[in-house]
Amino acid sequence: MALHKPSTTKRILTVDLPMLAILVFTLGPYLWMFITSISDESTLFTEGPSLLNATIENYTRLFRTVGFAENLLDSFIVAGGTVIVGLSLSVTAAYSFSRFNFRGKRILMLQFLLINMFPLVLLILPLFVLMRVLGLLDTHIALIIANSTVAIPFSIWMMVSYMNGIPRSLDEAAMTDGCTRMQALRRVVLPLCLPGIIATGIYIFITSWNEYLYALTLGGRNVRTITVAVQTLIGEYEVQWGLLTAGGIVGALPATVLFLLVQKRLISGLTQGAVKG
Amino acid sequence: MKFKTLTGIASTLALCAGMASADSTVRFWYHFDNADNPMDALVAAFEEANPDITVEAENIPWNSYYDQLYTAVIGGNAPDAAMVKMFAQPRLVEMGALAPIDDWLADWDGADGLQDNLIELTKGPDGQQYYLPVQYVVLYLYYRPDMFEELGLSVPTTCDEFRETAKALTRDTDGDGQTDVYGFGFRGAKGGHDHWATFTLGAEGVSLTEGLTSEAGVAGTQFVADLFQQDGVFPPSAPNDGFQEIIGAFKAGKTAMTIHHIGSANGMVEALGDNVSAAPVPECGGGRWTAFGDESTAVLSSAEDPEAAWKWITFLSTEGNNTMFNEATGQLPVVKADSESWTLHPQRFVQATVDSLPFAEMLPNSSATADFVNTAWPTNMQRVLTGDIEPAEMNAKIEELFAE
Amino acid sequence: MTHVSETPKHRASLGRQVLPYAMLTPAVLVTLAIVFFPMLQTAWMSLHEYVLFRPNDFTWVGLDNFKAALNDEVFWISLKHTIIWMCTTIPAQLLLGLVTALLLNQEFPWRPVARALIIIPWALPSVVIALMWVWIYDSNYGIANEFLLRMGLIQQAIPWLADPDTALASIILTLTWQGFPFFAVMILAGLQSIPQSYYEAASIDGASAWRQFWHITLPGISGVMMTAVLLRMIWVANSFDVIFVMTGGGPGYATHTLPLYAFIKARTNLDFGYGSAIAVLFTLLLMVVVVFYLKRTGKAVS
């Protein structure tokens, strides 16, 4: 943000150290979870989590007997599907809101917000009946649809704000060059708001990944996401701390890895001179 | 996991084959504290003995178990059989969700093998039988024999002794001026009503449906409040403590006594070895009261093949299988023969359980019980502990709830 | 490409009129069917006395549930907490997220790693976060108390979640931890659309880092920031799963919020009619806040 390259010490003081502080705050609990997950469970309460007698037994149990790999796969399918459905529906809708003025625009945008204002938990019963009637209970599709409806309103609003940041003149330039609206969208606007798309995609992925209520109600034996699997480790009389923390650690990894992979695209500069014909 | 997949494939194949040759499927919901899928072994054994029935057992997370069950019943997708507790029975019966089992029970020769009285205890509110007991626990008092010996204390048998003992146990062990050990780990969050009940409902003439607002009734709640506010024998976190907190604190040596049941016994022994033991809860106000922790199975009225569902649940409450079931859950078997040969828990805990049976009780069989357990008790108890309301008010609210 | 521009004029203008709606339709249809109608169904339920374990008893009571709610002291307590909740969590998350985004936009060698790690609180399932923080706050063996005791900042372990005075604040801290990565990521994406040339020009003019921030950065991301705050506001107001697992709304009513109360009434007590009424009231209140917010930020729909 500041322009001339600052000296390294200055950079360390103003950037690295604060960043480190924030990361300590961010990762502290996560590391605590990690230590708990590799601690010896029999001394967990008497001595507290510790690295002595570290064991990866919880992780092996997690995959072997709890069947966490299947859960990860289910979560991944649902989250991935939601990203695809959610993004495709919201990008076109957002373009429409961003570029056009038409009757009912305000109402429609507010309608999308309204949907997210209602406590979802009360919608479970009607949704459950709907899915049962459609014969979609315990399928990935049911979860993808349900999660998409939660994700779409937010995504539309976010994409609108990103698209508003791209001057309309660019669209118009493209159209005078002979593109249709849709082509202008595809060739000009989308590449330029790629960071926004990535951010929105991440948002949809994470929201769907962490979703519990719908996954529990609409899922079942065939579709069991990690959020549901992790909840089964909280029993009536016992919390399986080792397995639970292991599940939490593993559960956070896919989103993190995904983000690591796409974060470069998040920072694609606009400065490369937009549309040059 | 491979076994699970194999069973899964086998079940699917059986299901497909079943559709062609009138085989039945029984969908069974359960909640286990054990993550190692022990239901697989039971399912396999059953399917071997009954090749024309396939069991699809689904493990539902405990903290959403009843939410899920009610939703499924209303939404038309209820399982064929499920694990159920007494507090939910009035509601389920009112919803018409359960199938009566009286006729089947009369024909079943395993009925005599169950512990005396269990069938009576689990009768439905309309006199019909819906539940088949499958396991049980009784709450007792855990204590630290090493601490008792150190301070020359003996196990309290009355509430007054309890108070003195708890006060003596609440002490500073490392001389830094802070209390390090508390006398009793009280459970103030949801599920802790059994603790309060031991101190309150044992009194003569006091029960949840009558006498709560009498002097004796209010004295019980006052006793609990005083233990926290005046004597400081509960840890300061008591209002929000759930079972994991009280068990954890006891294991860590932060509390010297607490109330729970045999389900946690093995974990306790693992952490504390011989320094943990159990005794029946003290007598308060003239009588003793402790909670009978029940668990049964039931056939749902919407079951596709009720006979097959009945076969499955009786399988679980039959000699040998009941042992397997309880080895997985860590509770006590309901089959007499199985309890006689029971070796999963150290003897002293089984003894404490058996000794507590004569005064073990369940909550009233009314639909107010669920509200009492879930919201009325925790909220009011927390407010009493934090000084927000008086004990008399709490008792009045609860009496009101059950009077409806 | 050329054949498109030869479309007859009247057809083009009709097409142009329909196109925006056509682009919207899929999204609208899906949300209408899956969410909007169930919402209306629930609103309908709020006008009846409907207890889930008496499914055949569905009696019309008009606005009785609403009157009961407005007379219910727990309703008002929950509302107060919801307001406190929203007014503290969101600015905290925003501020921390903004600072993080600005830092992550700088050049430093381990930037990619930092960027990936920052997302972890957001990526964890709520129940895991709640349980972990319950353990951290535990007054018997939690590290929060141990840490503060060792630093000498407190004399005795504080039961963070059992004391009505500290319970809400403790949960707010947990939620700030969980939520700030959202702002960090969204703002970081927004920062990308500010052309580097602006900064170069300003630097040549001798503007300080602070002035550059105030006059270039902030305006550049204001749109994204305002939208993120709006969305987060709605999300935070509505979310209760962390609170539910950490304290269940207690001790007493100390951490009750409106959606939590609606949940308890509907799912736990099975009083669907009353629970729905609370949910409807909550939605209406939130809508008022949102409309007000949109008017103020002028971030309307243009």
- Reported as a single tens digit per residue, the pLDDT across B236-272 is 999 988 888 898 899 989 999 999 999 889 888 988 9
B138, amino acid identity: V
Are C235 and A116 inside 8 Å of each other by CB? yes
Q: Which residues of A touch B64 (CB under 8 A)?
A: 216, 231
Distance from CA of C254 to the nearest CA of B (A): 9
Strand partners, B184: B257
Name residues 176-235 of chain A within 8 A of C (Cβ): 178-181, 183, 193, 195-196, 198-199, 202-203, 206, 209-210, 212-213, 226-227, 230-231, 234
Contact criterion met (CB < 8 Å) for C182 and A2: no
Burial state string for C203-223 with b = 16 or more CB within 10 A and e = fewer than 16: eeeebebeebeeebbeebbeb
Instruction: Give me chain C's average pLDDT, please.
Output: 83
Give the pLDDT band of residue C204 (cuts 50, 70, 90): confident
Residue B12 pLDDT level (bands cut at 50, 70, 90): low
If you write DSSP's letter for every residue of chain A in order, what string do you get? ---SPPPHHHHIIIIIHHHHHHHHHHHHHHHHHHHHHTS-GGGTTTT-S-STT---HHHHHHHHTS-HHHHHHHHHHHHHHHHHHHHHHHHHHHHHHHH---TTHHHHHHHHHHHHHS-GGGGHHHHHHHHHHTT-TTSHHHHHHHHHHHHHHHHHHHHHHHHHTS-HHHHHHHHHTT--HHHHIIIIIHHHTHHHHHHHHHHHHHHHHT--HHHHHH--SS---HHHHHHTTB-SS-B-HHHHHHHHHHHHHHHHHHHHHHHHHHT--STT-S---
Higher pLDDT, A3 or B227: B227
Which helix (H) or strand (E) segment holds residue C135: the answer is: helix C126-137
**pTM here?**
0.82
Most confident by average pLDDT, A173-177, C156-160, C165-169: C165-169
Tell me the average pLDDT of chain B.
88
Of B96-110, B201-215, C92-106, C147-161, the poorest mean pLDDT is in C147-161
How far is C230 from chain A, CA to nearest CA, in Å?
Answer: 9
C270 and B240 within 8 Å at the Cβ level: the answer is no
Q: How far is the alpha carbon of C165 from chain A, nearest alpha carbon, in Å?
A: 23
**Cβ <8 Å between A45 and B248:** yes
pLDDT grade for A275, boundaries at 50, 70 and 90: very low
Model confidence at A271, in pLDDT bands (50, 70, 90)? very low
Question: Quick check: A238 and B76 CB within 8 A?
Answer: no
Note the pLDDT tens digit of each residue in C20-64.
Answer: 778 888 888 888 888 888 888 888 888 888 887 777 778 888 888
A110–chain C Cβ distance below 8 A for any pair:
yes
Q: Examine the pLDDT at C3 and tell me if it is beyond 50.
A: no
Each residue's pLDDT tens digit, B279-290: 999 999 888 999
pLDDT at C240: 82
The count of CB pairs under 8 A between chains A and C is 312
- Which pLDDT does position C11 carry in this prediction? 53
Q: Which residues of A touch B243 (CB under 8 A)?
A: 237-238
pLDDT over 70, % of chain B: 94
Q: Is the dihedral of CA A230, A231, A236, A241 positive or negative?
A: positive
Q: Chain A residue closest to C127 (CA)? A: A231
Asked whether the beta carbons of residue B378 and residue C250 sit closer than 8 angstroms, the reply is yes
**pLDDT reported for residue B8:** 52
Q: Do A259 and C112 touch (CB under 8 A)?
A: no
Q: Is the per-residue pLDDT at B21 higher than 60?
A: no
> For residue range A39-52, what is the model confidence (pLDDT) as tens digits?
877 777 766 777 77
The string of pLDDT tens digits covering residues A47-96 is 677 777 778 888 888 888 778 889 999 999 999 999 999 998 888 888 88
Confidence of residue B144 (pLDDT cuts 50, 70, 90): very high
Q: Is the pLDDT of residue B16 over 70?
A: no
Average pLDDT over residues B173-186: 87
What is the pLDDT, as a whole number, of residue A274? 34
The three-class DSSP label of residue C269 is: coil
Chain A window 152-211: which residues touch B at a Cβ cutoff of 8 Å?
none
Which structural domains are found in chain A, ordered by start? 56-276 (1.10.3720.10)
Contact call for C139 and B237, based on CB within 8 A:
yes
| Residue closest to C89 by CA, chosen among C160, C165, C180 | C180
What is the distance in angstroms between the Cα of B247 and the nearest Cα belonging to chain A? 9
CA distance B230 to A161: 58
- Distance (Å) from the C-alpha of residue A54 to the closest C-alpha of chain C? 19
Region C219-235: mean pLDDT is 85
A271 close contact with C: CB closer than 8 A:
yes
Buried residues in B113-145 as b, exposed as e (16+ CB within 10 A): bbbeebbebbbbeeeebbbbbbbbbbbbbbbbb
Q: Tell me whether residues B239 and C251 touch, CB distance under 8 A.
A: yes
Q: Could you say which of B1, B58, B75 has the minimum Cβ distance to residue A65?
A: B1
For residue C241, what pLDDT is reported?
A: 81
Tokens matching residue C63: 């606005």
In A, minimum Cα distance to C106 occurs at: A1
Min distance C171 CA to chain A CA atoms (Å): 14
* In the predicted structure, residue B11 carries a pLDDT above the cut 60: no
Q: Which residues of C touch B92 (CB under 8 A)?
A: 53
Split at pLDDT 50, 70, 90, the class of C8 is: low
Q: Determine the average pLDDT of the residues in C272-294.
A: 88
Nearest CA of chain B to the CA of C12: how many Å? 49
Q: Give per-residue pLDDT as tens, C57-87.
A: 788 888 888 988 899 989 999 999 999 988 9
Cβ-Cβ contacts under 8 Å between B and C: the total is 95
Q: pLDDT-based confidence at C177, cuts 50/70/90? A: very high
Q: Which residue of B has its CA nearest to C57?
A: B95
What was the pLDDT predicted at B404?
A: 77
- Closest residue in B to C261 (Cα) is B375
- What pLDDT shows up at residue B296? 93
User: In Å, how far are A149, A234, B368, C271 from C59, measured between CA atoms?
Assistant: 31, 38, 21, 13
Partners of residue B249 in chain C, C-beta under 8 Å: 140-141
Output the pLDDT for position B181.
92
Across the range B182-192, mean pLDDT stands at 91
At residue A163, the pLDDT reads 84
State the pLDDT confidence band at C13, using cuts at 50, 70 and 90. Answer: low
How much is the pLDDT for A270? 36
pLDDT at B297: 94
Q: Does C163 touch chain B (CB under 8 A)?
A: yes
Q: Is the pLDDT assigned to residue B210 strictly greater than 80? A: yes
Confidence of residue C298 (pLDDT cuts 50, 70, 90): low
Chain A residues inside the 8 Å CB shell of B8: 221
Q: Cβ contact (<8 Å) for B70 and C268? A: no
Nearest CB neighbour to A118, from listed C106, C120, C279? C279
Looking at the predicted structure, is the pLDDT value of residue A3 above 70?
no
Average pLDDT, chain A: 82
User: Which residues, numbered 230 to 259 in chain C, qualify as contacts with chain B under a Cβ-Cβ cut-off of 8 Å?
Assistant: 247-253
Quick: pLDDT tens for B30-83: 988 777 777 888 999 999 999 999 999 988 888 889 888 988 998 888 999 999
Place of tokens 């940041």: A165
User: Given CB atoms, is B37 within the 8 Å cutoff of chain A?
Assistant: yes
Query: What is the rounded average pLDDT of the residues A192-197?
Result: 84
What pLDDT, on a 0 to 100 scale, did the predictor assign at position A79?
94
Mean pLDDT of the region A19-32: 89
Q: What is the mean pLDDT of residues A196-219?
A: 88
Give the model's confidence band at C10: pLDDT under 50 very low, under 70 low, under 90 confident, else very high. Answer: low
Which of B67, B178, B190 is closest, CB to CB, to C248?
Answer: B190
**Shortest CA gap A222–chain B (Å):** 10
Residues C100 and C176: their CA atoms lie apart, in Å, by 13
Mean pLDDT of C109-129: 85
* Interchain CB contact of B235 with C (< 8 Å): yes
User: Which of A21-25, A243-247, B22-26 has the weakest average pLDDT?
Assistant: B22-26
Q: How many CA atoms lie within 13 A of C252 on its CB side?
A: 20
Contacting A residues, span 69-98, partner chain B, CB-CB under 8 Å: 69-70
Q: Å from C27 to nearest chain A CA?
A: 5
Question: Do the Cβ atoms of B242 and B192 come closer than 8 Å?
Answer: yes
Chains in contact with B via at least 3 Cβ–Cβ pairs below 8 Å? A, C
